[in-house]
Chains A and B, each alone.
Chain A
Amino acid sequence: MSLLIHKQGLLDTIQDTGRYGYQHLGINTGGAMDTIAMKISNALVGNSLEEPVLEMHFPAAEIVFEEAVLMALCGADFTAEINGEALPVLHPVMIQKGSVLKFKKNVTGARVYLAVSGGYISSEWLNSNSTNLTVKAGGFEGRPLQKNDRLLLTRNAFDTFLFKDASFIPLPWSPNFSGFYTNHTFQFIPGAEYHYLNSVSAKRFENNYFTILLQSNRMGYRLKGENLELQNHKEMISSAVTKGTIQLLPDGQLIILLADHQTTGGYPRIGHVISSHIASLAQMRAGEKIDFRQTTLPDAEEQLFKQQRDLQLLQNACTFRLQSYFKN
């Protein structure tokens, strides 16, 4: 009952919804960068939405399924293939024992999530299975997957599948997930230092495009645009920052903090990307351009509530489909 890593990917780690309750000790939450794709991949295979999944970047690992499994890919499109045949994303797929999963090309998005029915066996640290690379704890030995690692699965193989000659069988449904993602425009609510931007910079912040730099990673996205300036220098004392916080660096450029961000920071907080847009942001790649549009806190709360409710509905529909399919 395992997946064998045949060829190592760039950064493939076990992640869940994150490690909360320890930020006062400087331990960041980590967790999946795109929790929407993570949860949908789980829903597709009948798992709880919070089940730890495999998060992969491009180039992603080559994986041998050593048993027949029910799996789903969600998030980025890395042109997945099973034994050389194109594999649809966003479908639950039954995979024949011995099949090899490869990813050929990064078409869209930055991270793909692989969920298997029943989930992986991974280690928990401080109530989360997310991999913390600094501490080297949680997930798979606290590190990214490497060649020859065996990722064990919690449930027995789907031996009863009738594959005949096929190496995989996509189940005939796919959720409509477009409503969960936004385009390149990210809504924010103003941060504590937003009003310190001078008027030219405040306009630039909302009217200009910013390019995501190559130095972007799971800690945060570095942006490149016209310099922004504060109208008067404000003495900053470090305090807590959160996922989505947009900080202004001393060189006039912006950074947006993401899953592996430090728990505290001392740079001016220009704004905060709203929670329901974080998943979309996590699928943007270096070189792509984004812009910002201001919204209100009540609107941000409402959008997050709706997104979570829609996820729940999607999960219910997936569960119903899976149950009916396997009954017949």
Chain B
Amino acid sequence: MPNSASYHMYPCGDHAVTIELGNKVNAAINQKVISLFSYLKDQSIHGVKDIIPAYHTLTIVYDTALLRKKITTTTVYEWVCRQIQKAIENCKMAIAKTPALVRIPVCYDLSLAPDLKTLAAAHQIGIDEVIQWHTGKSYRVYMIGFLPGFAYMGSVHEKISTPRKASPRTLVPGGSVGIAGEQTGIYPFDSPGGWQLIGQTPIAIFNIHKTQPCLLQPGDEVTFYPISLTEFQKMKDHEPAHS
């Protein structure tokens, strides 16, 4: 559990509060965020509508008008802050839930990886090396944002860390695997996007027909493994189509 000096809270508008648990992108800080997220979710605090974890923050969205009917001696904001302070005191941040380990197949065939060649050239390494570095470690899901189910994962090895494209593509195919700085991610849908595309996964990252529509959750650990174009097509035929 963090002591009071290690976090601070501020309003995120008149119906949300953000708790900042650090000031950088770092697995230990993010682990605190995820632990507190899981704990607060289980608490079901009255009037709380959403809890949104990010790299170093957790934002609690609440129903101001509903809570204001009961809370008259302080602001609703102050009341929510107090509930969170109590939760932080009781939450054993150190005891993290064991993260889910997710293995994701990626086809790095150049026909599905429009930026792989230039990315390898920019780092003066071979394409095979890029694939080795990308598949050679596990990545933490720091947060989900941008699109439904879009996981921001990190950190990629510095040998393949590459800034976003100067001008984004108007259409990135769903399933595309990309790199942006030290982050890696998968587009769940066809979408505009500026990440460097190095491959594609045949499996569905988002499925509206499931009660849990997202394959990846904040805090998960992800590894990628390479598959051939033939395997890619075979697997894709068995998956619901990317939207």
Contact = CB atoms under 8 A, between A and B. Distances in A.
User: Are A and B associated in one complex?
Assistant: yes
B164 to A, nearest CB: 12
A25 B18 contact: no
B31 interface: no
A20 to B, nearest CB: 4
Contact of B13 (A29, A126, A272): A272
A23 B12 contact: no
A237 to B, nearest CB: 5
Given A134-B148, A305-B68, A242 B143 contact: no
Contacts of B108: none
Q: Which of B12, B13, B77, B152 has the most CB of A within 10 A?
A: B13
Contact of A189 (B13, B52, B145, B149): B13
Interface stretch (B55-63, B94-102, B110-118): B55-63
Given A135-B206, A264-B145, A300-B14, A23 B64 contact: no
Contacts, number: 144
A265 B77 CA distance: 22
Contacts of B214: 25-26
A134 B193 CA distance: 14
A237 B14 contact: no
Interface in B7-44: 10-16, 18, 23-25, 37
A263 interface: yes
Nearest to B191: A134
Nearest to B142: A238
Interface in A243-290: 243-245, 262-265, 269, 272-275
Given A21-B49, A275-B13, A240 B57 contact: yes
Interface string A230-245: 0000000111111111
A137 B144 contact: no
A25 B144 contact: yes
Given A20-B49, A23-B52, A272-B13, A264 B143 contact: yes
Contacts of B69: 305
B16 A26 contact: no
Contacts of B55: 237-239
A272 B14 contact: yes
B208 interface: yes
Question: How big is the A interface, by class?
Answer: 35 or more
A203 interface: no
A171 interface: no
A54 to B, nearest CB: 22
A293 interface: no
Contacts of B11: 189, 272, 297
Nearest to B20: A239
A245 B13 contact: yes
Contacts of A269: 12
B51 A24 contact: yes
Contacts of A135: 148, 189, 206, 208, 213, 243
Given A24-B144, A26-B150, A297 B75 contact: yes
B161 to A, nearest CB: 16
Q: Which of A23, A239, A262, A304 has the most CB of B within 10 A?
A: A239
A193 to B, nearest CB: 11
Nearest to A24: B52
B65 A23 contact: no
Contact of B12 (A28, A126, A272): A272
Given A301-B76, A304-B68, A25 B14 contact: no
Given A192-B10, A239-B55, A304-B64, A24 B50 contact: yes
Given A25-B148, A240-B57, A305-B64, A275 B50 contact: no
Given A239-B54, A244-B13, A26 B146 contact: yes
Interface string A80-105: 00000000000000000000000000
A71 B148 CA distance: 34
A136 interface: yes
Contacts of A305: 64-65, 68-69
A239 to B, nearest CB: 4
Given A24-B37, A136-B208, A264 B14 contact: no
Contacts of A27: 148-149, 213
B18 A301 contact: no
A308 interface: yes
A125 B213 CA distance: 11
Contacts of B199: none
Contacts of B56: 237, 239
B208 A137 contact: yes
Interface in A1-52: 20-29
Interface string B131-148: 000000000000111111
21 contacts: A22-B50, A23-B50, A24-B144, A25-B217, A26-B144, A29-B50, A136-B243, A189-B14, A191-B12, A192-B18, A237-B23, A240-B18, A242-B13, A242-B16, A263-B145, A265-B145, A272-B12, A301-B68, A301-B76, A304-B65, A305-B64
Given A26-B148, A239-B57, 12 more contacts: A23-B61, A25-B214, A26-B146, A134-B147, A134-B189, A189-B14, A240-B61, A244-B13, A263-B144, A264-B54, A272-B14, A304-B65
